Amino acid sequence: MRLSRYFLPILKENPREAEIVSHRLMLRAGMIRQQGQGSFTMLPLGKRVLDKVCRIIREEQDRAGALEILMPTIQSAELWKESGRYNDYGKEMLRIKDRQERDLLYGPTNEEMVTEIFRAYVKSYKDLPLNLYHIQWKFRDEVRPRFGVMRGREFLMKDAYSFDIDYEGARAAYNRMFVAYLRTFTRMGLKAIPMRADTGPIGGDLSHEFIILAETGESQVFCRKEFLDLAVPGETVDFGNDAEIAGIVKDWTTPYAATDEMHDEAAWDAIPEDERLSARGIEVGHIFHFGEKYSKPMGAKVQGPDGKEHFVSMGSYGIGPTRLIAAIIEASHDEAGIIWPESVAPFEVVIINMKAGDADCDAACERLYAAYQAAGVDVLYDDTDQRAGGKFATADLIGIPNQVIVGPRGAAAGEVELKRRATGARETTKLDDLLAFIGTAA
Amino acid sequence: MRLSRYFLPILKENPREAEIVSHRLMLRAGMIRQQGQGSFTMLPLGKRVLDKVCRIIREEQDRAGALEILMPTIQSAELWKESGRYNDYGKEMLRIKDRQERDLLYGPTNEEMVTEIFRAYVKSYKDLPLNLYHIQWKFRDEVRPRFGVMRGREFLMKDAYSFDIDYEGARAAYNRMFVAYLRTFTRMGLKAIPMRADTGPIGGDLSHEFIILAETGESQVFCRKEFLDLAVPGETVDFGNDAEIAGIVKDWTTPYAATDEMHDEAAWDAIPEDERLSARGIEVGHIFHFGEKYSKPMGAKVQGPDGKEHFVSMGSYGIGPTRLIAAIIEASHDEAGIIWPESVAPFEVVIINMKAGDADCDAACERLYAAYQAAGVDVLYDDTDQRAGGKFATADLIGIPNQVIVGPRGAAAGEVELKRRATGARETTKLDDLLAFIGTAA
């Protein structure tokens, strides 16, 4: 993408309304625009990051055996009356009437709707296990939306729902999502620690939040330091092997870890002081096992191998992709701006033409730009007539992992400079060597 | 994907509520489930088709220079009061109050919001042309939603918005979208004919609908037969060349073509009878030029090369991806079911194991399945213990373009059968030859 044809509305000033660094940097880097209370447009740069985040989420959901569907945002109140949650859910639910005065609502979550889909089609244990997920907009009418996309009213959510014949099956489904979440966050450069959590309005008896540590975290968390070194399973992990998956979950749930609300002072005091880690945390995922909470009132049952009907045992599994973007920035930035992990960077490389109009610079940049495109690399080419200092600042602010800097003196000598955003490390290289290297990646 | 682990709720009976073939086939093939009036879940098979449709739309929008963003579904009523449309738009608009009793609405379209984004950032003609698009859910509270996803209340829409300094620039932007639409529909196997159209609640003075011909079309259309043979530009078409693009638009707008409401009997009568084509049509896209209709009341202006401020000249460009799926089925099906064009097929190949449990069949199918996966082909493997006849019917119903049929006698002899869904043509081939062929595609 040529920057001259792109829409990247960088803000020079720090926006006053932004209280936390991710909100500030997303506004400054031209990633988002606020459209109302807790409601944001993803501008082109933000949309690119969102796409990469969603792609990783999808790949790991698919790998764990979940199937993608897409449910509508607007739901009938009738469904929620069946489960009993229509009255339980307070003002956070956005209630709507259509032209025929029927009661609708903007879904804050989809347990009821997916249970309705399940009961309509699935009649036998032979069709289980089943896990259906979607990535769809949700609306929760928060009293105090804030921190940008970290706590919005309209936000994107990946929510998965598992259906099994009994507790044992449901627990295996829960474990698969647990491990999928570990992999998902790791691939985004995040260290997420699973912690026992309250189940809140979703309900149920077993729940984990995945928390990343960041100074601006919304809650205090407590865990053993050993979490920082625990291994995350690679992509060869066998989701068909319940015992293997349960073993990983055991490793990740045995050491002490708790959010403020679940904290046990006695257990904490028993941990040697130099093995304790107390910090602020940001919730990036939340998983629930709630058994028959929805299947029973809504009549979602299947015939078992015993010939009898069984209410299915369910769980649900949420990740907020829009919130994740903010969490990644909270965990990875410096004074100059965002530092994207390669896996979610809006562009992998930015070519900085220090002197657009200079024949050598233009020629070198055009060759590099064509080579990266041919190699299938997401490349941004700053071909604008801004001065070099401004270009460097923009590249750092928007956090592109790799910068290729082309100046007139270097270009004339057949050389360009490479800079790593994360470390600031720079090296000079021959243009031809770089072109050859890009070619091998194609 | 192994069918035994997939969620494909085929219906044996014809659903009574479905009046048109696409609605009937989408229900029967387990692509959608109705969740409310004019509201549908895309089940896994439907979601796959939707993804492919959206991908083609994105590729052609990007090629034509449009940039993808993502605006929220819920909008503030204030914005619509600025443009004057809040009162104009009748009961079709879903109006909402939040917990603070503020007036919101579920966006039926986004001219106001995107104009707000534009005016916040863009100040100079140097940043033009600009075209921003998104693919997002819309809600229109139709009096009579029907025909499945063809006329829903909640539906997905790709809407693009162009901004230019003057009419000439806006017309060039309109032309680029016109040509992008020709390419988009052609890639989906559709023959879409652009017809002058009414502008309706969007407004403006220039508008084309893209109509495909189908017996179940919602309106009568009239055009010259020569449209059926007009060439659609290839992917090397130069969107940077305004004259080239204008030439294509001229070719596609010169012969007579009109919807019922714009039909001119005198012009029609002047066409020789054997060159006339009168048929039912389905609208699959609609583009508008409306100049300053929104930029003027909302104050969206830029400084021109003359140093003066100019209200920008705008257009908007819509395609409904969910509706497109139905239109493709209307245009491509037979008695047995859907016939997907390869470009939007949920799977490219289905492997039919005629006798799961037979050692030769299983071994041949597993080898084929692994080979297709390694080659990056979207493959469905029917490994269920259904009888062969049912498997054939399912494969035909869901419309997978290529069927590989593995029976016990053939497998023992190292042979499999290939069937093309579109033509019904069958041929027998050596398993090893097919495996080698798949390998070359990897």
Judge whether B343 lies within some domain. Answer: no
- Both B269 and B367 in one domain: the answer is no
Judge whether A370 lies within some domain. Answer: yes
- Both A270 and A375 in one domain: the answer is no
Q: What is the pLDDT of residues A110-166, one digit of tens each?
A: 999 999 999 999 999 999 999 999 999 999 999 888 889 988 999 999 999 999 999
Judge whether A343 lies within some domain. Answer: no
Residues 216-255 of B with CB under 8 A from A: none
Q: Could you say which of B7, B68, B153 has the minimum Cβ distance to residue A67?
A: B7
Judge whether A344 lies within some domain. Answer: no
Domain stop point among A338, A362, A386:
A338
Q: Is B77 on the interface with A (CB under 8 A)?
A: no
Q: What is the rounded CA–CA span in Å between residue B127 and residue A21?
A: 28
Whether residue B288 contacts residue B218, with contact meaning beta carbons closer than 8 Å, is answered with no
> Does the global pTM surpass 0.95?
yes
CATH code at A421? 3.40.50.800
The number of folded domains in chain B is 2
Q: What is the pLDDT of residues A227-252, one digit of tens each?
A: 999 999 999 999 999 999 999 999 99
3-class secondary-structure state, position A288: strand
3-class secondary-structure state, position A253: helix
- Both A226 and A309 in one domain: the answer is yes
The residue whose two tokens read 């920082």 is: A228
Q: Is B111 on the interface with A (CB under 8 A)?
A: no
Q: Determine the distance in angstroms separating the CA of A230 from the nearest CA of chain B, rounded to an integer.
A: 32
Judge whether B344 lies within some domain. Answer: no
CATH code at A218? 3.30.930.10
Residues 139-198 of B with CB under 8 A from A: 139, 141, 143, 153-154
Single-letter code of the amino acid located at B389: G
B70 vs A120: CB contact, 8 Å cut-off? no
- Both B432 and B305 in one domain: the answer is no
What the block records as the tokens of A119 is 């009961």
- Both A296 and A374 in one domain: the answer is no
Mutate to test the interface with A, among B34, B43, B55 (most CBs of A within 10 A): B43
Q: Is B386 on the interface with A (CB under 8 A)?
A: no
For residues A104-124, one letter each, b for 16 or more C-beta atoms within 10 angstroms of the residue's C-beta and e for the rest, the string is bbbbbbbbbbbbbbbbebbee
- Both A203 and A334 in one domain: the answer is yes
A74 vs B42: CB contact, 8 Å cut-off? no
Chain B residues in contact with A139 by the CB 8 A cut-off are 74
Q: Which residue range is the domain that position A391 belongs to?
A: 349-441
3-class secondary-structure state, position A159: strand
- Both A118 and A238 in one domain: the answer is yes
Q: What is the rounded CA–CA span in Å between residue B220 and residue B257?
A: 11
Q: Determine the distance in angstroms separating the CA of B103 from the nearest CA of chain A, rounded to an integer.
A: 11
Single-letter code of the amino acid located at A422: A
Angle formed by the axes of helices B321-331 and B44-63, nearest 10°: 110
- Would you mind telling me the total number of residues written for chain A in this entry? 442
What the block records as the tokens of B240 is 């940077």
A68 vs B44: CB contact, 8 Å cut-off? yes
Chain A residues in contact with B73 by the CB 8 A cut-off are 73, 137, 154
- Both B326 and B411 in one domain: the answer is no
pLDDT at A393: 97
- Both A129 and A179 in one domain: the answer is yes
Chain B residues in contact with A106 by the CB 8 A cut-off are 74, 96, 106
The per-residue pLDDT string of chain B (442 residues; one tens digit each, 9 = 90 and over) reads 999 999 999 998 888 888 899 999 999 999 999 999 999 999 999 999 999 999 999 999 999 999 999 999 999 999 999 999 998 888 999 999 999 999 999 999 999 999 999 999 999 999 999 999 999 999 999 988 888 998 899 999 999 999 999 999 999 999 999 999 999 999 999 999 999 887 777 677 789 999 999 888 888 999 999 999 999 999 999 999 999 999 999 999 999 999 988 899 999 999 999 999 999 999 999 999 999 999 999 999 999 999 999 999 999 999 999 999 999 999 999 999 999 999 999 999 999 999 999 999 999 999 999 999 999 999 999 999 999 999 999 999 999 999 999 999 999 999 999 999 999 999 999 999 999 999 887 6
Q: What is the rounded CA–CA span in Å between residue B401 and residue B332?
A: 12
CB atoms under 10 Å from CB of A436, counted, come to 11
Q: Could you say which of B67, B122, B143 has the minimum Cβ distance to residue A44?
A: B67
B132 vs A7: CB contact, 8 Å cut-off? yes
Chain B residues in contact with A122 by the CB 8 A cut-off are 9
Q: Could you say which of A41, A75, A122 has the minimum Cβ distance to residue B69?
A: A41
A73 vs B137: CB contact, 8 Å cut-off? yes
A117 vs B33: CB contact, 8 Å cut-off? yes
Compute and round to an integer the Cα radius of gyration of chain B: 25
Chain A residues in contact with B99 by the CB 8 A cut-off are 91-92, 141, 143
A41 vs B143: CB contact, 8 Å cut-off? no
Whether residue B222 contacts residue B312, with contact meaning beta carbons closer than 8 Å, is answered with no
Kindly give, in sequence order, each residue whose CB lies less than 8 Å from that of residue A134, ignoring residues fewer than 6 positions away: A68, A69, A70, A71, A110, A158, A159
Of B153, B179, B181, B156, give the one whose Cα is nearest residue B49.
B156
Judge whether B58 lies within some domain. Answer: yes
Residues facing A106 on adjacent strands = A74, A94
Whether residue A169 contacts residue A313, with contact meaning beta carbons closer than 8 Å, is answered with yes
Mutate to test the interface with B, among A41, A80, A81, A115 (most CBs of B within 10 A): A41
Domain stop point among A338, A370, A393:
A338
- Both B139 and B173 in one domain: the answer is yes
Domain stop point among A338, A373, A402:
A338
Q: Could you say which of B33, B69, B113 has the minimum Cβ distance to residue A47?
A: B69
Q: Is B96 on the interface with A (CB under 8 A)?
A: yes
Give me the phi and psi of B87, to 5 degrees please: -85, -30
Mutate to test the interface with A, among B3, B6, B7, B385 (most CBs of A within 10 A): B7
The per-residue pLDDT string of chain A (442 residues; one tens digit each, 9 = 90 and over) reads 999 999 999 998 888 888 899 999 999 999 999 999 999 999 999 999 999 999 999 999 999 999 999 999 999 999 999 999 998 888 999 999 999 999 999 999 999 999 999 999 999 999 999 999 999 999 999 988 888 998 899 999 999 999 999 999 999 999 999 999 999 999 999 999 999 887 777 777 789 999 999 888 888 999 999 999 999 999 999 999 999 999 999 999 999 999 988 899 999 999 999 999 999 999 999 999 999 999 999 999 999 999 999 999 999 999 999 999 999 999 999 999 999 999 999 999 999 999 999 999 999 999 999 999 999 999 999 999 999 999 999 999 999 999 999 999 999 999 999 999 999 999 999 999 999 999 887 6
Element housing A363 (H / E): helix A359-374
Q: Is A260 on the interface with B (CB under 8 A)?
A: no
- Both A310 and A434 in one domain: the answer is no
Q: Could you say which of B69, B94, B137 has the minimum Cβ distance to residue A98?
A: B94
What the block records as the tokens of A79 is 């469904």
Q: Could you say which of A71, A92, A137 has the minimum Cβ distance to residue B73?
A: A137
Residues facing B326 on adjacent strands = none
A91 vs B75: CB contact, 8 Å cut-off? no
- Both A322 and A359 in one domain: the answer is no
